[in-house]
Structure formats: structure tokens, C-alpha cells
């Protein structure tokens, strides 16, 4: 499903046959965007290969194959909202892609041992709510009108607590400092599903909205009898009148009838790198990222999610290499001495993240879209930029042919791909 639901390209004759395999290595634990990352890499590698064979710019090959509004996905779901082509055009203008490609070509022409590469990669990412059960509860205390939220999601840095507080404040019309989230538990939040899939924040917000709707309906008759009451006075009177100020709601959202996906998120990334041909070491000079987050529930949180996901993806594509014993399957890179997650020198020097403006999601929670996993997949653009830099090095020695560069593209693999030999290292006058 991941391969078909995340690719941004329309193709009527996809024919995929999955094959199950057994290995002697342990099963990997699902992390951020499992399945989608390799699926997107496979698709984008195909586009790169096609561009090389037909001798076209990879961005142009991607552009002419992008989905258009109204086209059907492989699941026969019509894309009623599809803005990927517009995002690509906007990102190219914003990031000055054409000018930078010209500058990079000149740099590569004038430098033998350092090369630059640039890659633009679009994204279409499917979000589905089917089976997203989260047990949510909202309590209003009659003494001071303060509110407690207890939702079924797990706060793990994605901002679900902040977003639910904001949504609750918006629905009840009170300041956010009157609301707090307490730790969830299996008594109040029984039967909640796992936190993941990028949907927990928005579905928990849906649960809080439903709870607030119940509470507002109970409060309305009391409010009608009072003359423009303050919140504290209104809640105190509700308590005196015996109004139940606790509401619970278990979410059970489904996809639209006949569809598989609730909505798609779109994005485009431009990554530029500079590569040292002699060592294989590199720097990610600049990244421009434009992401469709709908009408963001909290832009600061969502931009942080985009940045964090992208950097996590850089580790997946470039540094975090798993090595197993060929005989036993035992993991050999089982510590930070051998396993290298991205650190401060691995992130882009110039990192520009933008959320698409004026793009409300009509089927989202308060017109929003998810931000947790899709941007991770967009970071494969850095790997393709490195491959383009290596291509420039190979072209200089007459080896201008297509070559694969698999993830993780470690320093050793990149250096090997440049086909550097001792007899090339000659000083000329």
C-alpha cells in the first residue's frame, strides 16, 4: 500500500508484484514513516534513471509526470484536491532553482576536487484515519472554571498536548492558561490505539472538539438565563444547577465511503550539497522545503515537526548504516561508536522551511493537515543531490553513465562512486 499511496506520479500501467522473504536478521521496529521511506526512494530512483536515459533534467521528468487534480489513484480514488504542480512551481521560484543550477554548473566546471549537486523532489503522502480510536475526556471545575484534558494520545514531542489545549480554548472561548493536560491512563483512556501514523494530534483534537460540543450544549440553557456572564460565574452557576461538567468521547473516524485515504499532503524539497571528491565528505549547503500543512493548528509546532522529521530522514538516507554478521544475522552496528545518527554538522547550513499559505484542508480537523511523518520522506532529495555531485566528478573523467547510489549513502560509498584513482591525482602547471 505504501508504494502506491505515497508516490506523486500518475502512471496508468504500474504493475507491482510483492514477494515475501525470510531473512536471518531480526524484524525491525516501525519508526517514523515506515514503508513510505523506501517506497518513495524506489519511485524517485526510477525518475532519476529515466531522466538519465532520455537526457533530460530530472526535475522536468518529474514535473510532466505529476498527478493532476481529478486523476484517479491506483485505488480508484479521485484526487479532488491536488496542488503538487503549483507547489513545485512556487518552490522553484522561492528557492531560485534555475539560477542556482547555472551557478552549480559553473562551479563544477572550475573545480576538479570539489563538486556541487542540487536535487528537487516532490512528495504526495497519504493520511488515513480508519480505526483511529482515542478516548478523550474534558473536565470543567466549577470552583474556578479551569479545565483538564485527558486524551488517548502519547505526547512524545509532537505537540499533541499543546494542540489539544489550543483547540479546547478555541471551542470554549477561554484563555489557554486555564487549561492543562494530565497524563493519560488505561482507566480514563481505555481502548485508545497506538500513537503514530501522523494522525494522533489531529484525531485527539477531534475528540476534544466533540467533548467541548457536549459541554457547550449542556451549558447553553444556563448561559441563556444569565446576562453576558463571565466564564467563571457561568461555570459556577452550572455547578449549582447540577449540570454535568465532564464529557467523554471516543473517536472512531472513517475514510469517505468507497475511498481508502482521508486526504493527501503535498510538499517539495530542494537540496544543495558540496562534495569533497578526495574524501567523500560533504556538507548540505542549503535546503528549501515547502510543505502543505493545510491550515496549521500551530505553525511553530508544525515547522518544528518538519525540521525534525527532515533531519531524522537525513540519518536514514546518509549516515545510519546497519551492518549484520553474514553468518548469524547479529547486528554489528549496535552502539553509537559504529551507528551514526545525524549530529550538528550533518544538518543543512541554510535550512529554509515554509508552510504553504492559503491552503485549508476541507476534510481536515479545523482545516489542518498532519506534519509528523511526510517531511521525513522529503529528505531523500539530499541523497540525490549527492549523486548529482558524484555524477559531475565521473563526467570529468569520461564516466558519465547512470549509477545507483543506495541508502545509506555513507562517506565511503560516495567516495567510491566518484571512481577516484591514484593516477588521477596529478598536479598540473
List active site positions.
373
Distance in angstroms (rounded) separating the CA atoms of residues 285 and 296: 28
Distance in angstroms (rounded) separating the CA atoms of residues 277 and 88: 30
Contact 268, 257 (CB under 8 A): no
Distance in angstroms (rounded) separating the CA atoms of residues 149 and 160: 11
Collapse the DSSP code of 287 into the 3-class scheme (helix H, G, I; strand E, B; otherwise coil) and give the result. Answer: strand
CA-only gyration radius of the chain, Å:
25
Give me the sign of the Cα torsion angle 295, 298, 300, 306. Answer: negative
Order of strands across the sheet that contains 350-355: 114-127, 263-276, 282-291, 350-355
Contact 90, 371 (CB under 8 A): no
Distance in angstroms (rounded) separating the CA atoms of residues 41 and 29: 19
Contact 236, 142 (CB under 8 A): yes
Residue 419 Rama label (left phi>0; alpha psi -120 to 50; beta): left
Residue labelled with grid coordinates 472561548: 173
Amino acid at each position: 500500500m505504501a508504494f502506491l499511496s505515497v508516490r506523486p506520479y500518475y502512471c496508468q500501467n504500474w504493475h507491482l508484484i510483492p514477494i515475501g522473504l525470510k531473512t536471518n536478521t531480526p524484524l525491525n521496529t516501525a519508526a517514523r514513516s515506515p514503508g513510505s521511506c523506501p517506497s518513495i526512494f524506489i519511485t524517485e530512483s526510477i525518475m532519476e534513471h529515466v531522466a538519465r536515459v532520455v537526457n533530460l533534467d530530472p526535475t522536468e521528468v518529474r514535473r510532466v509526470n505529476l498527478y493532476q487534480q481529478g486523476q484517479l489513484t491506483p485505488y480508484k480514488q479521485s484526487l479532488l484536491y491536488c496542488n503538487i504542480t503549483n507547489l513545485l512551481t512556487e518552490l522553484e521560484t522561492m528557492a531560485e532553482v534555475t539560477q542556482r543550477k547555472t551557478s552549480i554548473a559553473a562551479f563544477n566546471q572550475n573545480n576538479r576536487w570539489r563538486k556541487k549537486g542540487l536535487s528537487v523532489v516532490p512528495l504526495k503522502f497519504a493520511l488515513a484515519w480508519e480505526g483511529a480510536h482515542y478516548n478523550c475526556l474534558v473536565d470543567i471545575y466549577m470552583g474556578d472554571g479551569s479545565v483538564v484534558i485527558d486524551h488517548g494520545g502519547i505526547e512524545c514531542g509532537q505537540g499533541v498536548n499543546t494542540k489539544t489545549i489550543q483547540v479546547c480554548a478555541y471551542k470554549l472561548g477561554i484563555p489557554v492558561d486555564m487549561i492543562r493536560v494530565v497524563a493519560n491512563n488505561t482507566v480514563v483512556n481505555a481502548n485508545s490505539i497506538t500513537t503514530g501514523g501522523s494522525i494522533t494530534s489531529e484525531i485527539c483534537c477531534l475528540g476534544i472538539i466533540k467533548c467541548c460540543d457536549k459541554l457547550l450544549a449542556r451549558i447553553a440553557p444556563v448561559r441563556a438565563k444569565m446576562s453576558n456572564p463571565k466564564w467563571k460565574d457561568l461555570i459556577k452557576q452550572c455547578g449549582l444547577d447540577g449540570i454535568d461538567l465532564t464529557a467523554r468521547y471516543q473517536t472512531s473516524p472513517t475514510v469517505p465511503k468507497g475511498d481508502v485515504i482521508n486526504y493527501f499532503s503535498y510538499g517539495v524539497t530542494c537540496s544543495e550539497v558540496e562534495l569533497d571528491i578526495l574524501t567523500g565528505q560533504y556538507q548540505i549547503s542549503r535546503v528549501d522545503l515547502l510543505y502543505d500543512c493545510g491550515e496549521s493548528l500551530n505553525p511553530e509546532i508544525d515547522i518544528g515537526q518538519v525540521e525534525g522529521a527532515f533531519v531524522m530522514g537525513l540519518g536514514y538516507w546518509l549516515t545510519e548504516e546497519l551492518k549484520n554478521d553474514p553468518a548469524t544475522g547479529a547486528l554489528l552496528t549496535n552502539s553509537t561508536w559504529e551507528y551514526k545518527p545525524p549530529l550538528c554538522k550533518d544538518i543543512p547550513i541554510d535550512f529554509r522551511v515554509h508552510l504553504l499559505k492559503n491552503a485549508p484542508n476541507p476534510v481536515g480537523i479545523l482545516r489542518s493537515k498532519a506534519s509528523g511523518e511526510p517531511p521525513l520522506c522529503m529528505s531523500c532529495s539530499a541523497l540525490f543531490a549527492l549523486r548529482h555531485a558524484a555524477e559531475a566528478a565521473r563526467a570529468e573523467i569520461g564516466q558519465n553513465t547512470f549509477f545507483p547510489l543506495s541508502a545509506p549513502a555513507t562517506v565511503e560509498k560516495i567516495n567510491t562512486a566518484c571512481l577516484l584513482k591514484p593516477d588521477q591525482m596529478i598536479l598540473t602547471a
